[in-house]
Amino acid sequence: MSTGSVAGALVLIVEDEPQLRRFLAAGLPRHGLRVLEAATGAEALRLAEQYVPDVVLLDLGLPDMEGREVARALRRWSALPILVLSARGQEREKVELLDAGADDYLTKPFGFDELLARIRAALRRVARAATNSGAGVFESGPLRIDLGARRVSVEGREVHLTPIEYSLLAVLAAQAGRIVTKKQLLTAVWGPHNTRESNYLRVYMTHLRRKLEPASGARLFRTEAGVGYGLELP
Amino acid sequence: MEERRPSPETMLERATVEAEGERRGKLKIFFGMAPGVGKTYALLQDAQAKKRAGVDVVLGWIETHGRRETEALTHGLERLAARRVDYRGLELVEFDLDAALRRRPALVLLDELAHTNAAGSRHARRWQDAEELLAAGIDVYTTLNVQHVESLNDVVASITGVVVRETVPDSIVDRAHEIELVDLPPDELLQRLEQGKVYLPAEAERARASFFRKGNLIALRELALRRTAERVDAQALEWRRAQGLAEPWSARERVLVAVGPAPSSADVIRSAYRLATRLRAPWLAVSVETPAFGRLSEEERERVAANLALAQRLGAETLVVRGERASEELLVLARARDVTKLLIGKPGPARWPWQRLRGLVPELVRRSGPIDVLVTSGEQGREELLRAPRRYRRHRAADYGWAFLSVLVCTAVGAASRSFLSLADLAMLYLLGVLIVASRLPRRPSLFAAVASVAALDFFFVSPAFTFAVSDLRYLLTFAVMLAVALLVSTFTVRLREQAEAARERERRTAALFALSRRFVVETGVAEIASVAMGHVRDLLGTDVAVLLADRAGNLTPCGGASAALVADEHELAVARWAFQHGRLAGHGTDTLPASRSLFIPLVGTGGHLGVFAVALAGRPEPPTPAQWQVLETFVAQTALALERALLVEQAARARVDVETERTRSALLSAVSHDVRTPLATITGAAGALLDEADLDPGTRRELAGTIREEAERLARLVADLLDLTRLESGDLVARTELCPLEEVVDSAVQRAHAVLAGHPLERLRPEEVLCAEIDPLLLEQVLVNLLENAARYSPPGTAIEMRLADEAGELRIEVADRGPGLAPGEEARVFERFYRAPDNQRAGGTGLGLTVSQAIVRAHRGRLTAENRAGGGALFRVALPRPAPIPIHSEEEERA
């Protein structure tokens, strides 16, 4: 397993269950990651300010404050990736957290491989954002978006998109690697006060996927039912 | 004597008495013939003995009248503080019932059972306080003189000439656990009286000379001895019954007493009670409402009700029957109820000779057959109620005025047309007038009109005119015939009218009852029944009413839209609570807390008290008539039964749900315990092996670790399914549907299940158009994941799994099909049962809950989840969802706009 891209990154684990925290703190360093542990939201915020980690693993249901508040407090000064660890049945909180600025989530129980993959994706997104900011072209696997010319092609073939489809794709591309919630998409494409289109959003997304995902089965999009969408990073 | 097994009824009766005896406290009465025999002294002696024996004795109320030796006996006994009552500026002290109930001793000493409490006390009488203590399981010692026993009240009065108003119901005496006769020879008592050792209550002080005569004392002593003996007798009988010995008589006696409005009717009732007690016979007290009953004065009606109440207190079954002739109704009832002795008050001296042959008593005697008719003194000249009374309720001058006017009009018409009318025609004219009067007015004015008509005819029209003298003797015959006809006409007309009125009244009541019961059949909810009942009673009495139902904790709350105003104040609510707890009438017009504004009637079902029916009575111009009472009672009884039925139905429904939940829970528990233990045992074993065996080869290590992971995942799935199931069943999990393309959910599910699907090529089919349905994406995704995992688990590796979306047969379908072994015959429905697993696939890793959860979710979407075998082998699961209304999608041009 390659650990090159994440080597040396600092992960802040915010988890109140000692067993899970211990397991994460023991497992991650073996893949070249450094860890910080926090059992409460307050502690997490203090450590985050002091050490400025590269990724935060944030558990839902902390004893002292809501995950949403932690995410908001972090977002006030930092764009560092926040990965939410949630259990089934906490969907609403999960969506709230994503709306509040978290990047992605993992549902417990999760495999260690899955966790590493998500951490890596998050770190890649940050790296990309740092190098690519302002660039006119987005590329991810077979997908290529010429942001200046508003042109989209898959495997070299140009695909025709409607204006709304293009706007959706552009929003997702700008935040590739994150889960963008329905609300965020609606706000970005139709403006903050227009929720009339909420019923159509899914249909537009379906059309978009049909046009872009080739029959070969290569996955470009992540669909999290009831939560939102994401554009996968290679 | 041969022993006989007691009949079931006897056993039941005994069981009831015994069961009641267990809960209730025991009452001991120190019984005496007169004041001064030493009852209180004996009571205290006994109490001291109990105290020494370690019994928790409290002195509730004792009247020592300053006698030193009695006073001395109270030393060492805990004394309950008395309650101070302000009564018209006077401070009275009374026994504090609430304090006693709070203190809850084993035994309370309560002197003078017949005492009347000061106004404003909870109960009017002290014996009611004692009853409540007994009901609370507290023993009571008390004292009582023979003249205060209800059934002996009149006898004592006739012996001593002193009427005692404070009486105690015989049922209290009969139910006493023990009666100790405190006896003193009359001579000694008189001696003590002379020595001033006897304290007399004020009323007796006045009658001292007449009361404490030796002859009186002997008679009273005899009464007291006899009453005690009767009681001992009753105990002996009880014992005999308990032993299953044959009863000492063969034929069962039954006594019926006719109740009327006369004050002396109470004496007849007491005689009946004594007779019934001596015969150990059940007895009935009956009042007959003849049409004439309606003409009784309010006072007399109330007296009938009071007399019936007296009979009830003395243990009689009370009945009110309606009919034309009292004698007939009494005899019909007597025969129907196997009455052997019929008691009736002696009528007064006959006013007219023929009355000796007619009237109630002769009729009863003539037609009673085998029933003994006992005529006792008391009801002097007061059989009016039972026969039609001759007195009218109102002698309204206006009625006579109208009668007079009618005669005047007839005279005027006659005078005007005298020239062409014969005398016979004139007589007819007057008869017409009498008929009209009789059809409108009561009997006496009608009779007056009849007589006045004859007089007028004579005076004005028969020669010589303007005198009552008659020239021709033939006219006398004419007058006689006319008078007879006029009297008959008026009598019959009045009676006819009265009958019609009575019938109408009866009809109305029957109709009301019928309407009520019919509504009860229709209404099934508790609140509906309560509101129907309240509506009917409101119509009946024209007053505010409320149904209060008790919850499990016994708190009374208004039900069925009842106004809370009736029990808004704490005092009224307390009365309601008392009535509910004791199952007895309380409040306005009763002995218990009569100062209340409302009357509270307990709603007594067959299984216990349900609540209270409150009727606002204070401030009404007149109390309800006995007939209204009866209807009210019937209404309330019916309401109680209907309410009980409704409550039972509700309870049964709740119980069904409980049983169902319980069964689910236990099935779940047993299945879960198995499904949890197995993976846990595997994990523990594997982890143990990894820890203990240091020299395992890497291959084995990997295998063990893999096992741990597999089993842990299995547990995780189980927990997740259980959570879903629990949330679905508890209603916590509500489908929050929104319009959503099905393929989005399919994508999401495939993404989530990709680990399980590894090794199975997935073939996806979908139509050109985008299919949208009203779904909760999270829940439906769960269903699809379950189906995919199921397909992967039950089919051989390498075989394809097909996932198809289609708009077919008017519904939207998502199908998941595999090429596994398919379903065994009959399994199509069973696979959705809880913990059902294909028999040969126990270890496939399923929880047996996935499909159950899935089906529940699909149903919550108003869809169906079915299973079938595919052509060519394998199973197919189909989610069918209703098609939503189509949503318009903007064309590209519209988007640009």
B-contacting residues in A 194-213 (Cβ below 8 Å): 198-200, 202-203, 205-207, 209
- Which of B683, B748, B752, B896 to mutate to test binding with chain A, by most A CBs within 10 Å of its CB? B748
pLDDT for A92 equals 76
Q: Helix B397-416 to helix B443-456 angle, to the nearest 10 degrees?
A: 30
Looking at the complex, report in whole angstroms how far the Cα of residue A202 sits from the nearest Cα belonging to chain B.
Answer: 6
Provide the token pair at B660: 């169902």
Q: Please, which pLDDT band fits residue B645 given cuts at 50, 70 and 90?
A: confident
Q: Which phi and psi (to 5°) does residue B894 adopt?
A: -60, -40
- For residues A64 and A148, membership in a common domain is answered with no
List the beta strands (DSSP E) in B323-380.
341-345, 372-376
- The whole-chain average pLDDT of chain B stands at 79
Nearest to A138 by CA among A231, A23, A10: A231
Cβ–Cβ contact A91 with B under 8 A: yes
Residues 163-192 of A with CB under 8 A from B: 163-164
Contact A225 B781 (CB under 8 A): yes
Provide long-range contacts, Cβ within 8 A and 24+ apart, for A29-33: A31/A1, A31/A3, A31/A6, A31/A116, A32/A3, A32/A6, A32/A7, A32/A8, A33/A6, A33/A7, A33/A8, A33/A9, A33/A119
Q: What is the reported pLDDT for B143? A: 92
* Geometric angle at alpha carbon B191, from B187 and B192, rounded to 5°: 120
A95: domain CATH number? 3.40.50.2300
Q: Which range has the worst mean pLDDT, B47-56, B387-396, B450-459, B607-616?
A: B387-396
Mean pLDDT of B532-542: 81
Q: Are residues A41 and A113 in the same domain?
A: yes
pLDDT digits (tens, 9 = 90+) for B301-351: 778 877 887 787 777 887 788 777 888 888 888 887 788 889 888 776 655
Domain boundary residue, one of A96, A130, A164: A130
B445, B399 in Cβ contact below 8 A? yes
Query: Given a cut of 50, is residue A65 above it in pLDDT?
Result: yes
DSSP letter for each residue of B611-668: EEEEEE-TT-SSPPPHHHHHHHHHHHHHHHHHHHHHHHHHHHHHHHHHHHHHHHHHHH
Does B121 score more than 90 pLDDT? no
DSSP 3-state of B876: strand
Of B716, B741, B772, the CB nearest to A109: B716
B119 close to B591: Cβ distance less than 8 angstroms: no
What are the backbone dihedrals phi and psi of residue B341, each rounded to the nearest 5 degrees, phi first?
Answer: -135, 130
Nearest CB neighbour to A206, from listed B724, B744, B776: B744
Query: What CA–CA distance (Å, rounded) separates B152 from B174?
Result: 13
Cis bond upstream, residue B626 (ω within 30): no
Give the pLDDT mean for A52-66: 88
- Domains of chain B in sequence order: 8-243 (3.40.50.300), 255-376 (3.40.50.620), 397-500 (no CATH), 533-731 (3.30.450.40), 734-882 (3.30.565.10)
Closest Cα in chain B, distance from residue A139 (Å): 23
The pLDDT, as a whole number, for residue B391 is 36
In chain B, the percentage of residues whose pLDDT exceeds 70 is 85
Residue B517 pLDDT greater than 90, yes or no: no
Pick the last residue of a domain from A130, A154, A174.
Answer: A130
**pLDDT score, position A34:** 92
A106 in the same domain as A35: yes
Is B757 an 8 Å CB contact of chain A? no
Q: What is the pLDDT, as a whole number, of residue B839?
A: 63
Domain shared by A138 and A185, yes or no = yes
* Sign of the four-CA dihedral B521, B527, B530, B531: negative
Shared domain check, A113 and A16: yes
Residue-wise pLDDT for B737-756, tens only, equals 888 889 888 988 888 888 78
Domain count, chain A: 2
> Are A19 and A94 members of one domain?
yes
- Judged by CB atoms closer than 8 Å, whether chains meet at A89 and B892 is answered as no
pLDDT tens digit sequence for B17-58: 555 545 688 899 999 888 888 888 889 988 998 888 888 999
- How many Cα atoms are found within 13 Å in the side-chain-facing hemisphere of B702? 3
Type of residue found at B180: E
Interface confidence, given as ipTM, is 0.82
Q: Tally the residues of chain A.
A: 234
B747 vs A contacts (CB less than 8 Å): 209, 221, 223
Cβ of B777 within 8 Å of Cβ of A206? The answer is: no
Q: Which amino acid is at B304?
A: V
Q: To the nearest whole percent, how much of chain B has pLDDT over 90? A: 6
Tokens of B314: 């003395």
Handedness of CA B403, B405, B410, B411 (dihedral sign): positive
Question: Contact A209/B896, CB-based, under 8 Å?
Answer: no
Q: Is a pLDDT exceeding 90 seen at residue B804? A: yes
Last residue of a domain, one of A130, A160, A178: A130
B724 min Cα distance to partner chain A (Å): 9
Q: Are A86 and A170 members of one domain?
A: no
Q: What is the pLDDT of residues B163-218, one digit of tens each?
A: 777 888 888 888 888 888 888 888 888 888 877 777 666 655 666 667 777 878 88
The span from the CA of B261 to the CA of B298, in Å, is: 10
The tens digit of pLDDT for each residue in B338-386 reads: 888 898 887 766 555 555 556 788 888 888 888 888 888 754 333 333 3
- Distance from C-alpha of B242 to C-alpha of B15, rounded to nearest angstrom: 10
- Rounded distance, CA A190 to CA A194, Å? 6
Residues in A closer than 8 angstroms to B739, CB to CB, are 199, 202
Taking the complete model, does pTM exceed 0.90, yes or no? no
* Same domain, yes or no: A109 and A33: yes
Residues of A within 8 A of B741 (CB-CB) are 202-203, 205-206
- Distance to chain A for B887, nearest Cα, Å: 8
3-state secondary structure of A132: helix
Containing B847, the helix (H) or strand (E) segment is none
Q: What is the pLDDT of residue A108?
A: 80
Range of A10's domain? 4-130
Give the residue, A197 or B41, on which the prediction is more confident.
Answer: B41
Same domain, A126 and A149: no
CA distances to B348, B352, B360, B382 from B356, rounded to whole Å, are: 11, 8, 10, 15
Question: Which residue of chain B is at minimal alpha-carbon distance from A213?
Answer: B747
What number of helices (H) and strands (E) belong to chain B? Answer: 29, 25
8 Å CB contact between B96 and B123: no
Nearest-by-Cβ selection for A223 from B738, B751, B770: B751
Q: Which residues, numbered 672 to 731 in chain B, qualify as contacts with chain A under a Cβ-Cβ cut-off of 8 Å?
A: 712-713, 716, 720, 723-724, 727
Q: A163: domain CATH number?
A: 1.10.10.10
Describe the crossing of helices A198-212 and A163-174 by its angle, rounded to 10 degrees. 80
Average pLDDT over residues A111-139: 79
Same domain, A145 and A58: no
**Cβ B291 vs Cβ B501: under 8 Å:** yes
Chain A residues close to B749, C-beta within 8 Å: 225
Closest by Cα among B639, B672, B474, B618 to B548 = B639
Cβ–Cβ contact A224 with B under 8 A: yes
Q: Which residues of A touch B892 (CB under 8 A)?
A: 162-163
* Rounded distance between C-alpha atoms, residue B530 and residue B660, angstroms: 30
The answer to whether A225 contacts B896, with C-beta atoms less than 8 Å apart, is no
Which residues does residue B87 pair with via DSSP β-bridges, in sequence order? B90
Chain B 858-897, residues with CB within 8 Å of chain A CB atoms: 887, 889-890, 892, 895-896
Region B13-18 average pLDDT:
53
Co-location of A122 and A63 in the same domain: yes
Answer whether B869's CB lies under 8 Å from B822's CB: yes
| Size of chain B in residues | 897
Q: Where is pLDDT greater, at B891 or A139?
A: A139
Whole-angstrom Cα distance, residue B60 to residue B74? 11
Encoded tokens for B223: 């009464």
Are residues A87 and A178 both part of a single domain? no
pLDDT (mean) for B512-538: 78
Q: Are the beta carbons of B748 and A206 separated by less than 8 Å?
A: no
